[in-house]
């Protein structure tokens, strides 16, 4: 990868994260606030109907709508929390990874065993962003599809490279082709393509091993100054 392409790749990763941050803020300041206002109006309407001795059927409908709005707000807030960047500029890679592991355990009830072979080198902002998002996607996929309660994450350095491995011993699957003319473009593989593309932008190596009944292992290797 030429120096020009390397700089372009770094810029793409940073700009993508900035755009994601703006989207998160726009959702929080727009639809979320409207839903809070709607919930407040529904609560007022419910109290008014109760005072006016409205029919039980009408009250039941308002209560059902209120619960739906409350559930939607909880899901949106959880979604926004997942995609809010954890101060990439200020924190070390290790701190970012540890924070994500703790967050995943708290939100899912699963266990993530993190092994770190120190010392880890200082890495650039694009590397922090890429490894964070890849780990986030890998843990999420494992939680949703693997049918397991435990995951293993290893982080280490090899010369001027940073390596990360994410393993589960769950259901496993037949991986789609991710390279070459037959590489998958199917919608359900967007997460795998995203991990592959983030690594490629940094000039790294992305490896996916999985087989039905034998779990899944994802290994990433990227230059520390990518």
Q: What is the pLDDT of residues 111-163, one digit of tens each?
A: 999 999 989 999 988 899 889 989 988 998 888 888 888 999 999 999 899 99
Computed over every residue of the chain, the mean pLDDT equals 82
Decide if 28 is inside a domain: yes
Name the residue among 136, 215, 131 with its Cα closest to residue 175: 215
| Residue 132 sits in the same domain as residue 216 | yes
Q: Which structural domain range is residue 8 located in?
A: 3-83
Question: Of 63, 83, 103, which residue sits at a domain end?
Answer: 83
Strands 161-168 and 205-210: unpaired
| Residue 21 sits in the same domain as residue 74 | yes
Whichever domain contains 212, its CATH number is: 3.30.565.10
pLDDT on residue 156: 97
Decide if 78 is inside a domain: yes
- What total number of domains does the chain contain? 2
Decide if 88 is inside a domain: no
pLDDT on residue 125: 85
């Amino acid at each position: 990868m030429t120096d020009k392409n390397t700089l372009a790749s770094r810029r793409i990763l940073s700009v993508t994260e900035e755009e994601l941050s703006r989207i998160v803020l726009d959702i929080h300041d727009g639809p979320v606030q409207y839903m809070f206002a709607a919930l407040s109006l529904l609560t007022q309407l419910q109290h008014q109907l109760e005072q006016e001795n409205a029919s039980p059927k009408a009250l039941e409908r308002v209560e059902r709508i209120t619960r739906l709005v409350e559930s939607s707000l909880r899901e949106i807030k959880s979604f926004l929390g997942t995609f809010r960047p954890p101060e990439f500029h200020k924190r070390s890679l290790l701190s970012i990874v540890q924070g994500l592991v703790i967050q995943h355990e708290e939100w899912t009830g699963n266990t993530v065993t993190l092994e770190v072979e120190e010392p880890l080198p200082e890495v650039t902002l694009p590397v922090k962003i890429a490894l964070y998002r890849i780990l986030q996607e890998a843990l999420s996929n494992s939680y949703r599809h693997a049918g397991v309660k435990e995951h293993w994450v290893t982080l280490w350095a090899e010369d001027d490279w940073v390596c990360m491995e994410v393993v589960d011993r769950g259901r496993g699957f037949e991986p789609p082709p991710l390279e070459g003319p037959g590489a998958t473009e199917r919608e359900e593989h967007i997460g795998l393509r995203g991990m592959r593309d983030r690594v490629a932008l940094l000039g790294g190596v992305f490896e996916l091993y999985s087989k039905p009944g034998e779990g899944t292992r994802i290994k990433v290797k990227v230059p520390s100054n990518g």
